Structure formats: C-alpha cells, structure tokens
C-alpha cells in the first residue's frame, strides 16, 4: 500500500484560527487574514461552532490553506479533519488520545499533541509516531527562553530527532 508522505511542519508562523475571537468575522475571513499575514500552519479551533457549520468552515479553510501553500490542523476533531481533508489534527490532554488519532488518520497526516514538560513531549512523540509533530502549547511551563531551549534540546537528544517541536 502506498501511503503519501506525512507533511513536515514548515518554518514560519503557526497560528490559531479560533471561533471565539473576533466573532464578527467568519472563520474563513479570519483564516484568509492569517494566511495573508504569513501563517504557514493554521490550527482551526471551533469550540463554539455547530457541527454542520464547522464542517463547512473546515472544508473552506483547508482549501484556502492549500491554495496558500500552508498546512491546516483541526483542533480536537479527527472526524472533521478527515472529512475536510486537513493535514492533521491537534489533540489536547482531555481529547481523543493521540494513539487513537493516529490510528484513525493513518501515517500520512500530522498529529499534534499538547505536551507538558520533557516527559510529556517524549510521550507525545512516542504516541504519534517517529515523525509526529508535538505542539507544546504551554511552552513547557518554563520561566524563560533559556529554560525552554534547554528542555527542547533535552527532548530532542532523548529521541525526538527528525521531529518538529513547536512552542507557543
């Protein structure tokens, strides 16, 4: 079976497109503005959007991302990621386990995981596959940039080679 290669996280801004911010704008309008501003990865977060609207928005935002040469990850929703043909998902601590997301998405899509600390980052990497993307959204709870860099370097040295770790 031929599996398309999993996309790599590009260098550049990784931005959230959230339905709770600037409610006067549609998700598509927000995505277009973020992409025009240089976003290379959009994480589409739809906590307050009804399911049918969320599917339509996901499909439209994924299409805009593809046109702009950017990646689109759906926050929490593996089902919407598959239906919208997104590049992957991002799951948090209380969402579908990353192993289950990987099982559903297969090897050709990204699975981002909220990870807390070095051990959490390593567990996320193990759960999502050798080249999965772990998104450390709490910046590893570090107090300063030197500590963040040290923790990321430690995670890298302990087995994250070839994997992108983003902080934000």
pLDDT in tens, the chain (168 residues): 566 677 788 888 888 999 999 999 999 999 999 999 999 999 999 999 999 999 999 999 999 999 999 999 999 999 999 999 999 999 988 889 988 999 999 989 999 888 777 777 777 777 665 334 444 444 433 345 455 555 555 555 554 444 444 444
- The distance of Cα 14 from the centroid of its chain, to the nearest Å, equals 8
Q: Is the dihedral of CA 166, 3, 130, 58 positive or negative?
A: positive
DSSP lists the bridge partners of residue 42 as 15, 72
What is the model's pTM? 0.74
In this predicted structure, what is the pLDDT of residue 157? Answer: 54
Cα angle, residue 105 at apex, residues 103 and 107 outer, rounded to 5°: 80
- Residue 90 backbone dihedrals phi, psi, to 5 degrees: -125, 125
For the sheet with 41-45, list strands across it: 14-18, 41-45, 71-75, 88-91, 110-113
- Residue 108 backbone dihedrals phi, psi, to 5 degrees: -90, 5
Rg (Cα) of the chain, in Å, rounded? 15
Cα distance between residue 75 and residue 131, in whole Å? 19
Element (H, E) at 45: strand 41-45
Domains contained in the chain, CATH given: 12-88 (3.20.20.70)
Pair of tokens at residue 26 = 């549609």
Count other C-beta atoms under 10 Å from residue 121's C-beta: 26
């Amino acid at each position: 079976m031929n599996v398309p290669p999993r996309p790599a996280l590009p260098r550049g801004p990784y931005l959230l497109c959230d339905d709770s911010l600037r409610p006067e704008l549609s998700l598509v309008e927000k995505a277009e503005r973020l992409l025009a501003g240089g976003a290379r990865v959009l994480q589409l977060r739809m906590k307050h959007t009804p399911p049918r609207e969320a599917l339509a928005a996901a499909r439209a935002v994924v299409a805009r991302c593809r046109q702009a040469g950017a990646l689109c990850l759906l926050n929490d929703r593996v089902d919407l990621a598959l239906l919208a043909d997104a590049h992957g998902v991002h799951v948090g601590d209380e969402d579908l386990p990353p192993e289950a997301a990987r099982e559903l998405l297969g090897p050709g899509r990204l699975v981002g995981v909220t990870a807390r600390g070095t051990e959490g980052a390593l567990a996320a990497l193990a759960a999502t596959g050798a080249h999965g993307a772990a998104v450390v959204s709490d910046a590893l709870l570090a107090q300063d940039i030197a500590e963040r860099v040290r923790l990321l370097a430690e995670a890298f040295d302990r087995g994250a080679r070839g994997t992108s770790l983003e902080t934000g």
